[in-house]
Amino acid sequence: MISGSGIRIWKASVRTPRGGRQPRGHPTSAETIEGLAQELADIVRQLAERDFPELWDALSDRGRELFTGNVIEAASRPPEDRVRAISDVIEAWRDEWQLMVSAPLDDEPFKAEERREVEEAEEQLNRAEAVPLRRLR
């Protein structure tokens, strides 16, 4: 059998059962769907923990959920795009993590002069005026 796009997705031997009745739809339970989704997420988590332990350890629980969802979404791409899509997701997360690890921590509050400079630069941006880069440091 050929789908509407011309790609063979069903075996040629699939036929209407005897008596001419169409197969009845199988209601799929919410539990079945949830179980499948959970198993997919578990596989991604196990592989990420094994293959990218430093990245995985650095993620919060919410970060792990987002990472897992991104990988599953990438894995749903067509076969010819799938590997690249998954690679892009992992690379983006690793880049972000690297930035977080290497970025200097500046948790000192703004001084009054610094706050004024930033506010002036923001006002210029809002007026669509050019702002010298040195003003945004």
Residue 117: Cβ-neighbour burial (10 angstroms; 0-12, 13-18, 19+): middle
Specify whether 137 is located in the same domain as 122.
yes
Specify whether 69 is located in the same domain as 86.
yes
Question: 121 in a domain, yes or no?
Answer: yes
Is the pTM higher than 0.75? no
Specify whether 91 is located in the same domain as 111.
no
More confident residue, 125 or 3: 125
Task: Report pLDDT for 85.
Answer: 95
Question: 26 in a domain, yes or no?
Answer: no
Specify whether 35 is located in the same domain as 97.
yes
Specify whether 68 is located in the same domain as 121.
no
- The half-sphere exposure of 29 on its side-chain side, counting CA atoms within 13 A, is 3
Specify whether 79 is located in the same domain as 135.
no
Least confident of 18-22, 59-63, 114-118, 120-124: 18-22
Q: Dump pLDDT digits (tens) for 22-57.
A: 656 666 788 888 999 999 999 999 999 999 999 999
Domain count, the chain: 2
- Which residue(s) pair with 8 in the sheet? 2
Dihedral angle, C-alpha 10, 13, 16, 19, nearest 10 °: -160
